[in-house]
Chains A and B, each alone.
Chain A
């Protein structure tokens, strides 16, 4: 059993009177793709910054590759920040070579790697343009190259796909998964839970500075204790007003229903038929990550409000 690439132990960080991360413990096994999920302001970026030792935790320990972050470990990490930033007046290749050098690459090697990646991401003809001449999407791809250029063992991507068109999202996702096949470990944060569900095998969800759940997606779903129904129907939605229905999310073409604990789904089906609703689809499913997250985050919020009252 190899040691985890990232290990946080009871990490806490506050800025002034604002608590950003509270007692967060979390491990990321080598070779996994993990989504760091949570709504805006949940503490995702602060967590990432602590992993990179950009800010230090107030309490707890952060270990990367089995120890504190040093010069040597920094060069093994590739980081794509949420706020993209490049020297606007620099040429694309020079910019990439500069970032590569900071990660310990030799200049000549950095230049040739940069050109290779630019070809791969369909930017070969823009290699010698100034960054400011590129579109926003192109700049984002250049930034992505800067993240993977030095073949890092750990990729940390903060909202990597935001603002990209579907073709480019697929292109970058392909590169990310290819890096994983080469043995890299990938942590990426997003507030788009559906994105994570597509490529992650693990998730860590945080909300309101605290971890809500963490683990392989399959286990998370199994252990959620939630049972879900997907129903597609034609007719009045009145049948959903039933004691067995704990929650109902209308996805447009179908409704996702969270069952009340111990409820019998057949009761809902009978009720629908009694009310003359035509059922096109009736399926017991695992809950989506989104439902689990909403359920957990909502419960936490309710707990806290109860405690304060």
Chain B
């Protein structure tokens, strides 16, 4: 007697078939291999790019109109930050009849092609005659130079001008040096094992994106699998042998097992590669300011992510199975997939903001809401310290919602799988859910 328990022989047979049909496919081999390669590539690429970028960077061209030739000291300081700079001209050079250059004449000359053009210069820095008295220096950019250069320039300028002002106030060199000694702030995580905060945050982003992609890929796989059975009329044989809910459950479990297998392979490969690769890459990363020697492999994050992957997958899979059952042709499927995708895309839209403040009230609430939690909670676990009760509550809410949704999805599925031809309208779906 095979009974009708949720995991009876029929459900297992369907799950097994779905699992084998996909694991043996070329798609599985390809995607399972490519993702770790991309991951390793993403880890190696920055180091490679840093090595390559030693080619001559464009210089910052300085127009120095001050009486004190502040640019000498400025060029010196910028060199320490690896920013090449040289004087385009200064008052001494301009003495040959040309009056002092103003910002407007500088701009006009650059545009006219006199002086270095934008191809040869990173930017132009104009130092007005009254700079030390409180005048404003101007950085003229043809293209965006980025915050790094801007910060270096303003830092160096502040140091040069301040020391000149102190000199005028009568301080001597050692005193000035003492006054300008930089105050440094060292950032330290509360818990040593967390490693650098930036790394955790990046990891959270990576996991959220990975889960997002997995939900979409596997959700669509379910919807298309259901549609394939419909269009090829296999469903007619299946419904004569087993209950629609058994078909749906078997399919969801089988495809879910494919997902878990894939994730497990990735975690294994990436884990091994990280342990081996990070050890050898440590010096290079340290140069970039990342001390990884204290980073533990984030097992907690990985385990929670797998929990959220599976529960989130169960929730979404019902939606996608019903979506696949609602349509009758490949052309129609996009129409029903788009509304099904909205709750998955929404957390990704708020992800950049949520990452900055992973414990803000709105982020905490969103990360507990069933449709968003599978993506937002792993990000929070990575980027912050989420109380265990919040993680568990999110899982509990997910399971309850899944149960309720699965009943409605099962009814739509049961009515939808045998439907052909015209797609029913919304009132008809409502009737299916009520009476199905």
Interface residues of A (CB under 8 A from B): 52, 54-55, 71-72, 74-75, 77, 79, 81, 83-90, 98-99, 101-104, 146
Contact = CB atoms under 8 A, between A and B. Distances in A.
Contacts of B2: 71, 75, 104
Contacts of A88: 232
B236 A102 contact: no
B9 A101 contact: yes
Interface in B193-233: 229, 232-233
Interface residues of B, number: 23
Nearest to A74: B241
B4 interface: yes
Nearest to A83: B233
B78 to A, nearest CB: 64
B418 A55 contact: yes
A261 B2 CA distance: 59
Nearest to A77: B240
Contacts of B418: 54-55
B9 A104 contact: yes
Contact of A102 (B1, B21, B233, B241): B241
A88 B232 CA distance: 8
B431 to A, nearest CB: 11
Given A85-B232, A99-B241, A90 B21 contact: yes
Nearest to B232: A85
Contact of A99 (B1, B235, B237): B237
B234 interface: yes
A99 B242 CA distance: 10
A79 to B, nearest CB: 4
Contact of B240 (A72, A79, A87): A79
A199 B421 CA distance: 35
State the 10 A-B residue pairs at the shortest beta-carbon distance, nearest first.
A85-B233, A85-B234, A83-B233, A81-B236, A102-B241, A101-B13, A79-B240, A52-B240, A85-B232, A54-B239
Given A81-B236, A85-B237, 14 more contacts: A55-B418, A72-B1, A74-B242, A79-B240, A79-B241, A85-B232, A85-B234, A87-B21, A87-B232, A98-B17, A99-B237, A101-B10, A102-B238, A104-B9
A71 B3 contact: yes
Contacts of A98: 13, 17
A81 B237 contact: yes
Interface in B83-142: none
Contacts of A90: 17, 21
B21 A89 contact: yes
B232 A86 contact: yes
Contacts of B237: 79, 81, 85, 99, 146
A173 to B, nearest CB: 22
A104 B4 CA distance: 12
Interface of B: 1-4, 9-10, 13-14, 17, 21, 229, 232-242, 418
B107 to A, nearest CB: 67
B294 to A, nearest CB: 50
A81 B17 CA distance: 21
Contacts, number: 61
Nearest to B415: A55
13 contacts: A55-B418, A71-B3, A74-B242, A77-B240, A81-B233, A83-B236, A85-B233, A85-B234, A87-B21, A89-B21, A101-B10, A102-B241, A104-B2
Contacts of A85: 229, 232-237
B233 A54 contact: no
Nearest to B24: A89
Contacts of B17: 87, 90, 98
B13 A102 contact: yes
A81 B235 CA distance: 10
A161 to B, nearest CB: 18
B219 to A, nearest CB: 21
Most chain-A Cβ atoms within 10 A of its Cβ — which of B4, B10, B240, B418? B240
Nearest to B238: A102
Nearest to B2: A104
B232 A102 contact: no
A109 to B, nearest CB: 13
A290 B21 CA distance: 47
Contacts of A89: 21
B234 A102 contact: no
A79 B229 CA distance: 17
Contacts of A146: 237
Nearest to A51: B240
Nearest to A85: B233
Contacts of B10: 101-102
A54 to B, nearest CB: 5
Contact of A84 (B233, B238, B240, B241): B233
Most chain-B Cβ atoms within 10 A of its Cβ — which of A55, A85, A104? A85
Contacts of B239: 52, 54
A88 to B, nearest CB: 7
Nearest to B230: A85
Contacts of B236: 54, 81, 83, 85
Nearest to A100: B13
A107 B27 CA distance: 27
A71 B4 contact: yes
A90 B18 CA distance: 11
Nearest to A89: B21
A163 to B, nearest CB: 14
A85 B21 CA distance: 17
Contacts of A74: 240-242
Most chain-B Cβ atoms within 10 A of its Cβ — which of A81, A86, A89? A81
B144 to A, nearest CB: 52
Contacts of B238: 102
Contact of A86 (B234, B241, B242): B234
Most chain-A Cβ atoms within 10 A of its Cβ — which of B1, B232, B241? B241
Nearest to B241: A102
Given A102-B10, A104-B2, A104-B9, A54 B240 contact: yes
